[in-house]
Amino acid sequence: MDIGAFMLDSVPFARLLGISFDSIGSGRAAARLPDRGDLHNHVGGPHAGALFSLAESASGAAMLSAFGDQLARAVPLATAAEIRYLKLAKGEVTAIATLGADRAEVLAQLDEGKRPEFGVAVDIRNADDVVVSEMTVSWTLRPNR
């Protein structure tokens, strides 16, 4: 499965923002948001909502890289997210997402009929590789009934 194409097809808002994926695999993903004037806020950087959407998209790609093979039996859903805006972002930004759970443990819970929950940590970095925002997205795999 081409996870980047799948994400942009199933989440048109990410496509609208111009989000692209640089790499996806093994519970990690890197996604990029272009520097566009229509995405800027009142201080000339990417709007907080655009940064949130970038990080959430990267987290979804990281999650799918680990659990995309389970889509026939479970629906992935984001259940919560917390973001911290640390510095004013300027220019193009990149979100690096990393799964914070053990795949085998999550699948064991799913096998037991449970609804596993796990986090994906995301750093948003500017072109100078400085972390400008941090986000954690909580995901669940809701078993199909």
**Mean pLDDT over residues 24-52, rounded?**
97
What band does 91 get if pLDDT is binned at 50, 70 and 90? very high
Domain boundaries, the chain: 3-143
**HEC readout, the chain:** CCHHHHHHHHCHHHHHHCCEEEEEECCEEEEEECCCHHHECCCCCECHHHHHHHHHHHHHHHHHHHHHHHCCCEEEEEEEEEEEECCCCCCCEEEEEEECCCHHHHHHHHHCCCCCEEEEEEEEECCCCCEEEEEEEEEEEEECC
pLDDT in tens, 103-132: 999 999 999 999 999 999 999 999 999 999
Q: Looking at the domain that runs over 3-143, which CATH code has it been given?
A: 3.10.129.10
